[in-house]
Amino acid sequence: MLHFFEPNNISLQISDFEIISESASQRSKSIKLLNHKLLGKILVINGEIQHIEAWAPLYHESLVHIPASFIPKVKTVLIIGGGSFFAANEIFKYKSIEKVVMVDYDNAVISLISANYSHPKQILTDERFSLVIEDVKSFLKKSNERFDLIINDALDLLEAPVNSFELLASKLSDHGICCDLVYRHIYESDRSNRTVSLLRKKFHTAFSLVTVPEYPGIMHLLSMWSKSPALKQSADKVKNEIQKKWAKYPAQSKCVSYDPRFLRYYLYLPPYLKTYIKNI
């Protein structure tokens, strides 16, 4: 079980960190897995913190369950990146799942996580799960599959070719939804503005303010886009059948942070974001 810890109780002395593993690959010059007595395992790639175990639910529960709340039955899922397996772990909370494809480019990270965490073992042996070690763009160009949910946990879509948002959307089922955490924090308004502008021109959209303590700025914008009009910022009740059961019996969700009874809370945008989103 992962737990949250109050910042005042966390000692960030160097002596509190233990190096579990250090390695490198053709893709990543430096891969380090550390352990902290309160924060748990910490993955650092090329000098950047990728995740802190104790805080993982804050990001991954939002990344998966907010977009899933708009889809009555999530059956097929594509995860782009996701080498920590935390997103896949959240996905398999849905009994409706028939197929999950995770595409990641760095087998060294996959091997490191698989060897040092308990949750990947069950995922990797699940017959509904497929792991593809390949460049994501190559995979997307040749794949003819359609997915109910596409989670981008790797590509910076604004830095990729202009059609990246459309390329992902072309892989959606009729009621499918794509989601992506805007790479920079919300106070870099130009990037948030460009993302919102690109998406609202062609898709139905919704946005959520997400806390990611590991990343600079802490507050980030989760963007969701779809061809389905079911996706809307003003939604107040979840459409997902399993989340409806969680709302009735919260203990069934096994979520630490996400609660489907409060969808409006997750879709609330503060004035700073609401103003320019309305103006676009």
Evaluate if pTM is beyond 0.85: yes
Is the pLDDT at 184 greater than 50? The verdict is yes
Work out the pLDDT band at 1, boundaries 50, 70, 90.
very low
- The Cα-based distances of 3 to 53, 91, 256 in angstroms read 9, 20, 8
Q: What is the pLDDT of residues 110-119, one digit of tens each?
A: 999 999 999 9
In this prediction, residues 218-226 reach a mean pLDDT of: 95
User: What domains are defined for the chain?
Assistant: 7-54 (2.30.140.10), 55-279 (3.40.50.150)
In the sheet with 99-104, reading across from the earlier edge strand, the strands are 129-133, 99-104, 76-81, 147-153, 172-181, 219-226, 204-211
pLDDT value at position 27? 74
pLDDT value at position 14? 52
Is the pLDDT at 109 greater than 70? The verdict is yes
pLDDT value at position 4? 43
Of 262 and 48, the structure prediction assigns the larger pLDDT to 262
Task: Write out the catalytic residue numbers.
Answer: 153
Q: What is the mean pLDDT of the chain?
A: 90
Q: Which tokens is 6 given?
A: 């109050």
pLDDT value at position 7? 47
Highest mean pLDDT among 48-57, 64-73, 106-115, 162-171: 64-73
